[in-house]
């Protein structure tokens, strides 16, 4: 006959597993999903904005700080570097999102 202490210690890992899955469902999935979508959209928009600013659209501002703006001739290279970083963020966040989904299953 098993003692009650061994049955409660067996229930603890199961409870922690359910709590971890609940945390992933409630917090990690929405945050990662929004991050993936936002980084992909911004990675598409950034080179377009850099190209437009390079060819004279003054409505597009690229400021590093409130007092310093990226020079116009560096708009396209700056936007390409930014798009590359955003694509890296999209790739690795998507991998983490897929890993989180496989953890829930």
- 30-59: pLDDT as tens digits: 999 999 999 999 999 999 999 999 998 888
Q: How confident is the model at residue 12 (pLDDT cuts 50, 70, 90)?
A: confident
Domains in the chain: how many in total? 1
Predicted TM-score (pTM) of the model is 0.78
Domain that holds residue 22: 4-104
How many other CB atoms are there within 10 angstroms of residue 23's CB atom?
11
Per-residue tokens: 104: 């829930």
Confidence of residue 19 (pLDDT cuts 50, 70, 90): confident
């Amino acid at each position: 006959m098993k003692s009650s202490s061994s049955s409660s210690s067996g229930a603890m890992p199961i409870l922690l597993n359910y709590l971890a899955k609940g945390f992933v469902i409630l917090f990690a999935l929405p945050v990662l999903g929004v991050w993936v979508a936002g980084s992909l959209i911004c990675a598409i928009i950034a080179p377009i904005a850099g190209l437009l600013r390079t060819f004279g659209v003054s409505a597009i501002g690229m400021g590093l700080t409130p007092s310093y703006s990226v020079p116009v001739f560096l708009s396209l290279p700056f936007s390409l570097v930014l798009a590359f970083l955003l694509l890296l963020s999209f790739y690795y966040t998507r991998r983490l999102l897929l890993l989180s989904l496989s953890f829930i299953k």
